[in-house]
Chain A
Amino acid sequence: MKTNKNQMDLEMNLNAPHSMGTTIIGVTYNGGVVLGADSRTSTGMYVANRASDKITQLTDNVYVCRSGSINLSFASTHLTLLFYLGFLAADSQIVSDYVRYFLHQHTIQLGQSATSKVAANLIRLLSYNNKMLETGLIVGGWDKYEGGKIYAIPLGGTLIEQPFAIGGSGSSYLYGFFDQAWKEGMTKDEAEQLVVKAVSLAIARDGASGGVVRTVIINSEGVTRNFYPGDKLQLWHEELEPQNSLLDLLNSSNPEPMNI
């Protein structure tokens, strides 16, 4: 559809696929794992949910960071209809729901908690064998046999165990950062600070990531959820302070802050 393009035309394209253009991170530390994510779900340029929770529980001791899109092809819509009765759901939600169900049965059969490796393998089987699904997942958990473990399961469904993993559109900006900042055997606080800093850096650069930073820490003692509001995060190079309205800039003392 041809529109009259002028300078102020914001093409929102509200019929674009819902995308969890995202930043997700999983990091092991000495004693457990820290999972982190942003909270933005976007439809094209509109933020459909600015406070979504992308870190989903699978069992008491295993969580998964989800990224990917709501796929509108027939096959996955058929699947989603079965379980969501007409409401749309992200592929990653379907996968994690199935896996949560399988893990629950497995726990009953086994008589004890499932391990993070088993959770990751079940996710991998669904992801690998159903290639039409669009999911990028990071599984993190703690069990008494292996301790804290992180497993990355990107688009094609490969499963790879790593000391840390990053995913989502915002992760592109973090590869160099982690090369420099990651080290073996961090403490819990060091690891969480690293995750929060990383998500915050990605939010600054990636338009599809934003909102708040959520973290989940899993260790032998249990699970802790933390929340870092977006406006309390450190400002990076050339980042503007949070504004209620950009029009306020015109009334401020310096109406052209980017003018050097």
Chain B
Amino acid sequence: MSSIGTGYDLSVTTFSPDGRVFQIEYASKAVDNSGTVIGIKCKDGIVMGVEKLIASKMMLPGSNRRILPVHRHSGMAVAGLAADGRQIVARAKSEATSYQSVYGEPIPVKELAERVASYVHLCTLYWWLRPFGCGVILGGYDRDGPQLYMVEPSGISYRYFGAAVGKGKQAAKTEIEKLKLSEMTCREGVIEVAKIIYKVHDEAKDKAFELEMSWVCDESKQQHQKVPDDLLEEAKAAARVALEEMDAD
């Protein structure tokens, strides 16, 4: 839903007559223009995947990571302005370690999501700050099981079974809804996430991309880690095959 908010869009501390804060909506546009980021909650954990659009052939594969660890039990996948995303992750790391120091146990994922959301929201309250231009998917595994949260530039945060942000988010959400997540293990989930990312990638508009994935599940002993290389390769191969089958139709 696009509209120009002439006059009411110069500052994040200004409402428009129809009750919108345009600066926050413009920040969301920055997120919508970035590569797709997906997260799903399977029965034994969380899987997150990023369509990392490669700006230049000179870039080393595996650099410019878009999924970053926050604590032993959680990680964040970032869509939108990468530098803004790094700030959010840094804040999340700091909240997680300070909680651990004070309370003696790992921060519950719900609490972490609330703190990150508060911080993102904070930056929409003052005219001398600008809103974060990134949407973040937070996946973690605490004593209440695996949980998936998404934080938008407005500071809104909800808990999800499946979430997607970025260019292909509409198509990705449709694909995620087709999955039976409660019966899927993370091993199977990794393959599905790869297939979805390959599917929503627009070959015409964007050239090359790198698939980056992480998980936190029973198999990884409830620790957040990169998906093991062999499984990642298996997922990529399955995704390419699925794409060819689709093209063949």
Q: How far is the CA of A120 from the CA of B110 in the complex (A)?
A: 22
- Indicate if B104 sits at the interface (CB-CB under 8 A): yes
Known: A109-B111, A110-B111. A120 touches B143 (CB 8 A): no
Contact A121 B111 (CB under 8 A): no
| B95 to A: closest C-beta gap in Å | 12
* A115: contacting residue among B102, B105, B111, CB under 8 A: B105
| B149 to A: closest C-beta gap in Å | 15
Please report which residues of chain B, range 142-199, place their CB below 8 angstroms from some CB of chain A when the two chains form the complex. 143
Chain A 140-155, CB-CB to B under 8 Å as 1, else 0, gives: 0000010000000000
- Indicate if B108 sits at the interface (CB-CB under 8 A): yes
Q: Chain B: how many interface residues by the 8 Å CB criterion? A: 8
**Which residue of chain A is the closest to B114 with respect to CB atoms?**
A109
- Indicate if A81 sits at the interface (CB-CB under 8 A): no
- Indicate if A106 sits at the interface (CB-CB under 8 A): yes
- Indicate if A117 sits at the interface (CB-CB under 8 A): yes
Known: A109-B111, A110-B108, A110-B111. A121 touches B143 (CB 8 A): no
Contact A117 B104 (CB under 8 A): yes
**Which residue of chain A is the closest to B104 with respect to CB atoms?**
A121
Q: How far is the CA of A111 from the CA of B108 in the complex (A)?
A: 11
| B74 to A: closest C-beta gap in Å | 17
Q: How far is the CA of A109 from the CA of B95 in the complex (A)?
A: 14
| B188 to A: closest C-beta gap in Å | 29
Contact B111 A118 (CB under 8 A): no
- Indicate if A223 sits at the interface (CB-CB under 8 A): no
Contact B143 A118 (CB under 8 A): no
| A58 to B: closest C-beta gap in Å | 14
Q: Which residues of A contact B143 (CB under 8 A)?
A: 145
Q: How far is the CA of A120 from the CA of B143 in the complex (A)?
A: 19
Chain A 92-129, CB-CB to B under 8 Å as 1, else 0, gives: 00000000000000100111000101101110110000
**Which residue of chain A is the closest to B143 with respect to CB atoms?**
A145
Q: Which residues of A contact B110 (CB under 8 A)?
A: 111
Chain B 102-145, CB-CB to A under 8 Å as 1, else 0, gives: 11110010110000000000000000000000000000000100
Which of A117, A121, A124 is the most central at the interface, judged by chain B CB atoms within 10 Å of its CB?
A: A121
Q: Which residues of A contact B104 (CB under 8 A)?
A: 117-118, 120-121, 124, 159
Q: Which residues of A contact B105 (CB under 8 A)?
A: 115, 117-118, 121
Please report which residues of chain A, range 159-207, place their CB below 8 angstroms from some CB of chain B when the two chains form the complex. 159
Chain B 74-108, CB-CB to A under 8 Å as 1, else 0, gives: 00000000000000000000000000001111001
Contact B102 A121 (CB under 8 A): yes
**Which residue of chain A is the closest to B100 with respect to CB atoms?**
A121
Contact A122 B111 (CB under 8 A): no
Q: How far is the CA of A106 from the CA of B108 in the complex (A)?
A: 12
Q: Which residues of A contact B103 (CB under 8 A)?
A: 106, 118, 121-122
Q: How far is the CA of A118 from the CA of B99 in the complex (A)?
A: 10
| A66 to B: closest C-beta gap in Å | 20
| A64 to B: closest C-beta gap in Å | 15
**Which residue of chain A is the closest to B103 with respect to CB atoms?**
A118
Contact A125 B102 (CB under 8 A): yes
| A157 to B: closest C-beta gap in Å | 13
| B220 to A: closest C-beta gap in Å | 21
| B55 to A: closest C-beta gap in Å | 41
**Which residue of chain B is the closest to A144 with respect to CB atoms?**
B143
Q: How far is the CA of A110 from the CA of B111 in the complex (A)?
A: 7
Q: How far is the CA of A120 from the CA of B108 in the complex (A)?
A: 18
| B90 to A: closest C-beta gap in Å | 22
| A126 to B: closest C-beta gap in Å | 11
Q: How far is the CA of A118 from the CA of B108 in the complex (A)?
A: 12
| A109 to B: closest C-beta gap in Å | 7
Which of B102, B103, B111, B143 is the most central at the interface, judged by chain A CB atoms within 10 Å of its CB?
A: B103
Q: How far is the CA of A121 from the CA of B102 in the complex (A)?
A: 7
Q: How far is the CA of A121 from the CA of B104 in the complex (A)?
A: 6
Where the two chains meet, the residues of A that have a C-beta atom closer than 8 Å to any C-beta of B are 106, 109-111, 115, 117-118, 120-122, 124-125, 145, 159
Question: Given A110-B111, A124-B104, list of 18 further CB < 8 A pairs?
Answer: A106-B103, A109-B111, A110-B108, A111-B110, A115-B105, A117-B104, A117-B105, A118-B104, A118-B105, A120-B104, A121-B102, A121-B103, A121-B104, A121-B105, A122-B102, A122-B103, A145-B143, A159-B104
A and B contact pairs by CB, cutoff 8 A, 22 listed: A106-B103, A109-B111, A110-B108, A110-B111, A111-B110, A115-B105, A117-B104, A117-B105, A118-B103, A118-B104, A118-B105, A120-B104, A121-B102, A121-B103, A121-B104, A121-B105, A122-B102, A122-B103, A124-B104, A125-B102, A145-B143, A159-B104
Q: Which 6 A-B pairs have the closest CB atoms?
A: A121-B104, A118-B103, A145-B143, A117-B104, A117-B105, A121-B103
